[in-house]
Chain A
Amino acid sequence: MHEPAVGLTAEKIHVWRGDRHVLRGVSFAARPGCLLHVHGPNGTGKTTLLRVLCGLLRPESGVVRWGGDPIETIRSEYQRAMTYASHEAALKGDLTALENLRYAVGLKRRVPDAQLRTTLERTGVGLCADLPARVLSAGQRRRVAMARVLAMRSTLWLLDEPYTNLDAKGGDLLTALLDEHVGAGGIALVVAHHALPLTGAVDRLELAA
């Protein structure tokens, strides 16, 4: 990169799944304050791209950089700055919503339970804090996952279809949270099938079949 290297950049990412060429040279640069809307029909590698970006999947060629450094070389620093939310809520059914957050967020930063409760209240599931996650509805689980992303306080959010299962109010809340995050200089990559009604600028990354 010739410009000062900040934020997340991907350079010519190629990924093969078996004999299928899923990602064919995806490149982008996401600077602080940028929201990148990853868009495209089913099966075009949106989830694969996010898994590459968070470091779970190694691309066949191409490089993902965080602040100019390849993410494999600064793994723990990168993971501290990044939060990934997969398309499933990733909650333990036998643990309560609060415990789920405590063990997930607690590995990233020290956090008191009271703060986690406040975050759960913010995403509208404060009353579910002490219920086991298995009795929550899909929408409530999604809101708990949203609270987990918030509580991590990361600079970079990688969200895979975060609007799934949310009601209209939940969708508005998520949009407001994204606005706030990006407005404060954060970076977000969001996989979604509909237009994102954000007040700030939204860049689009189109993945074709």
Chain B
Amino acid sequence: MSAAETDVGLLRGIGLVLARELRLGFRRPDQLLQPLVFFLIVTTLFPLALSPLTSLLRAMAPGVLWVAALLSSLLSMETLFKADADDGTLEQLALSSQPLGAIVVAKTIAHWLVSGAALVAMSPLVATALSVPPRALPTMLASLALGTLTLSWLGAIGAGLTVGLRRGGVLLSLIVLPLAMPLLIFGASATDRAIGGENPAGALYFLAALCVFTTSLGPLAASAALRITLE
């Protein structure tokens, strides 16, 4: 039945799910753009509500950037498994003879590419609007890239746990936000130090450690959560 030449290896399986997710993502550009526009608008509200003084903007920029990035990632997290669970394709994926962990990895990376990576790409624009000096941009980009990837993994675990619930979005936020606090602290402090001209390496290392931690445990935790909700 399963001759060797028709066997689907793990990498091929991951690539196929990744291609599926990206195709689905770009078929629905509105869902991709909404979190990005949200990020843009929230960061624009602060100078309007407070004061457009350069010194004030610069002082609050790291916090504003990170809180807005966190909230906008929450918007796209719920759909990670929900859409597939609703139309029954999640069951088909789970029974596809590929390990569920591999499917979770592919879906989460695809989710990060269309949400987190897009947000990172847009952040220099927002940072400039908040008068972040150009020398702090590389640090800010690195911290946001590590942070959004970590968030995608936390989101995958939360979405796996809440996918069976009718209004899981609020619960998902309550699960993910406390776990995301270390990210906020180290991410904002790395950006803050870079703006002040200090060495941000310590905070970046912490972010990288969190990223490695969630990337290695996330697939296990999220697939275990999914297996429970699929019952």
Q: Do A and B come from one complex?
A: yes
Interface pair A94/B27, CB less than 8 Å apart: yes
In the complex, how many angstroms separate the beta carbon of A133 from the nearest chain B beta carbon?
9
In the complex, which residue of chain B has the Cβ closest to the Cβ of A88?
Answer: B88
Interface pair B96/A104, CB less than 8 Å apart: yes
Is residue A31 within 8 Å, beta carbon to beta carbon, of the partner chain? no
Chain B CB within 10 Å, residue with most, of A56, A86, A107: A107
Contact A93/B87 with A57-B231, A109-B6, A155-B1 known, Cβ cut-off 8 Å: yes
What is the bound-complex CA distance between A80 and B95, given in angstroms?
9
Interface pair B87/A91, CB less than 8 Å apart: yes
Would you give 13 A-B contacts (Cβ < 8 Å), ordered by A? A54-B95, A58-B231, A79-B95, A79-B97, A81-B2, A90-B87, A91-B87, A103-B20, A107-B97, A107-B98, A109-B2, A153-B1, A155-B1
In the complex, which residue of chain B has the Cβ closest to the Cβ of A110?
Answer: B6
Chain B: interface secondary structure?
Answer: helix
Residues of chain A whose beta carbon lies under 8 Å from any beta carbon of chain B: 54-58, 76, 79-82, 84, 86, 88-95, 99, 103-104, 106-111, 153-155
Chain B interface category by residue count: 20 to 34
Interface pair B95/A55, CB less than 8 Å apart: yes
Interface pair B91/A56, CB less than 8 Å apart: yes
In the complex, how many angstroms separate the beta carbon of B227 from the nearest chain A beta carbon?
9
Interface pair A76/B95, CB less than 8 Å apart: no
What is the bound-complex CA distance between A86 and B87, given in angstroms?
11
Interface pair B94/A89, CB less than 8 Å apart: no
In the complex, how many angstroms separate the beta carbon of B198 from the nearest chain A beta carbon?
47
Contact A84/B95 with A90-B87, A93-B87, A110-B5 known, Cβ cut-off 8 Å: yes
User: Would you give the 0/1 interface string for B1-33, flagging 1 where the beta carbon is closer than 8 Å to chain A?
Assistant: 110011110001100110110011001100000
What is the bound-complex CA distance between A123 and B7, given in angstroms?
25
What is the bound-complex CA distance between A111 and B12, given in angstroms?
12
What is the bound-complex CA distance between A55 and B24, given in angstroms?
27
Q: Which residues of B contact A81 (CB under 8 A)?
A: 1-2
Q: B92 touches which one: A90, A95, A153 (CB < 8 A)?
A: A90
In the complex, which residue of chain B has the Cβ closest to the Cβ of A104?
Answer: B92
In the complex, how many angstroms separate the beta carbon of B27 from the nearest chain A beta carbon?
4
Q: Which residues of B contact A57 (CB under 8 A)?
A: 231
Q: Which residues of A contact B96 (CB under 8 A)?
A: 79, 104, 107-108
What is the bound-complex CA distance between A67 and B138, given in angstroms?
58
Q: Which residues of A contact B95 (CB under 8 A)?
A: 54-56, 79, 82, 84
Is residue B230 within 8 Å, beta carbon to beta carbon, of the partner chain? yes
Contact A95/B230 with A88-B87, A108-B97, A110-B6 known, Cβ cut-off 8 Å: no
